[in-house]
């Protein structure tokens, strides 16, 4: 199993550009999520999905869109990049997501810089 | 969600045991206590979780206080590869996992 994969590893954007961060998992997990991590901080939840066709907002959803057309993929779209979105983005997946015993598997991250 | 308090940083010598504390005094009776760690430039990885009794796995042990208001992650013999940020996370079963700032563990050779 590859686990959770993310592409690209690094990306530089100019303010106002749009892009999509890719996330895929091969563990047949229902739950997937996106976090951002700013320097020296913990992770903050952006959006999550409990299954194909179902998404919901996390703590910091503004400026980001998601969709979940398949179980495997959960892309994160930046509609109009801003310098405040400079961060490291992590995708995670887990079997169900809604139980107190569920454990998450994280991808290696995408380091995004917006100039 | 229960709030947690962890030391900002801790230091250990290689080959010695490390006890990483976490206070979660507002935890509810059904919250499991999860620990994750984040190695430098990597995504977080699951370490261990438990409800009431102490738990062991190949990575660590988790000691949970009888009143469940605190817990301690125990690394039995720290190695340089254990240098990471350790997060203590009470989980109540919702879909939003809240990460705090965690404890940064430094391991000296």
pLDDT digits (tens, 9 = 90+) for A88-103: 999 999 998 888 888 9
Contact at CB, A45 and B42, closer than 8 angstroms: no
**A4 phi and psi angles, rounded to 5 deg:** -105, 125
- Residue B16: which pLDDT band, with cuts at 50, 70 and 90? very high
- Residue B1: which pLDDT band, with cuts at 50, 70 and 90? low
CA distance A4 to A98: 19
Q: Chain B contact for A26, CB < 8 A?
A: no
- Residue B94: which pLDDT band, with cuts at 50, 70 and 90? confident
To the nearest whole angstrom, how far is the Cα of B77 from the nearest Cα of chain A? 24
Q: Does the pLDDT of residue A78 top 70, yes or no?
A: yes
Contact at CB, A109 and B45, closer than 8 angstroms: no
To the nearest whole angstrom, how far is the Cα of A65 from the nearest Cα of chain B? 17
The stretch B1-25 carries a mean pLDDT of: 94
Q: Does the pLDDT of residue A1 top 80, yes or no?
A: no
Contact at CB, B95 and A48, closer than 8 angstroms: yes
Mean pLDDT of chain B: 94
CA distance A62 to A57: 9
Model pLDDT, residue B95: 82
Q: Does the pLDDT of residue B42 top 90, yes or no?
A: yes
User: Smallest Cβ distance to A104: which of B94, B97, B101?
Assistant: B97
**B48 phi and psi angles, rounded to 5 deg:** -170, 160
CA distance B59 to B48: 8
Mean pLDDT of chain A: 95
Give the torsion sign (CA, B26, A32, A114, A80): negative
Residue of chain A with shortest Cα separation from B90: A100
| Residue reference for tokens 């995708």 | A91
To the nearest whole angstrom, how far is the Cα of B109 from the nearest Cα of chain A? 24
Q: Answer yes or no: are the C-beta atoms of A21 and A89 closer than 8 Å.
A: yes
Q: What percent of chain A has pLDDT over 90?
A: 89
The stretch A105-112 carries a mean pLDDT of: 97
Residue A45 CB partners (closer than 8 Å, separation 6+): A33, A34, A35, A58, A59, A60, B96, B97, B98
Residue B73 CB partners (closer than 8 Å, separation 6+): B19, B20, B22, B35, B47, B48, B60, B61, B62, B86, B88
Residue of chain B with shortest Cα separation from A31: B95
The stretch A47-63 carries a mean pLDDT of: 95
């Amino acid at each position: 199993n590859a686990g959770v994969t993310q592409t690209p590893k690094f990306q530089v954007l100019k303010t106002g550009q749009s892009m999509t961060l890719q996330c895929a998992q091969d563990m047949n997990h229902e739950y997937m999520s996106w976090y951002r991590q700013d320097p020296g901080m913990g992770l903050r939840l952006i959006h999550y999905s409990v299954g194909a066709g179902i998404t919901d907002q996390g703590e910091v959803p503004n400026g980001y869109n998601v969709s979940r057309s398949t179980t495997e993929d959960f892309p994160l779209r930046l509609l109009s990049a801003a310098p405040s979105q400079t961060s490291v983005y992590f995708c995670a997946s887990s079997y169900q997501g809604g139980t107190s015993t569920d454990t998450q598997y994280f991808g290696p991250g995408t380091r995004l810089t917006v100039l | 969600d229960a709030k947690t308090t962890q030391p900002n940083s801790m230091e250990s010598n290689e080959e010695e045991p490390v006890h990483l504390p976490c206070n979660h005094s507002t935890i509810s009776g059904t919250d499991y206590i999860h620990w994750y760690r984040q190695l430098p430039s990597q995504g977080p990885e699951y370490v261990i979780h438990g409800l009431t009794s102490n738990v062991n796995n190949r990575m660590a042990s988790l000691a949970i206080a009888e009143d469940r208001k605190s817990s301690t992650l125990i690394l039995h013999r720290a190695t340089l590869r254990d240098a990471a940020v350790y997060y203590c996370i009470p989980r109540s079963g919702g879909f939003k996992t809240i990460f705090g700032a965690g404890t940064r563990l430094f391991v000296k050779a």
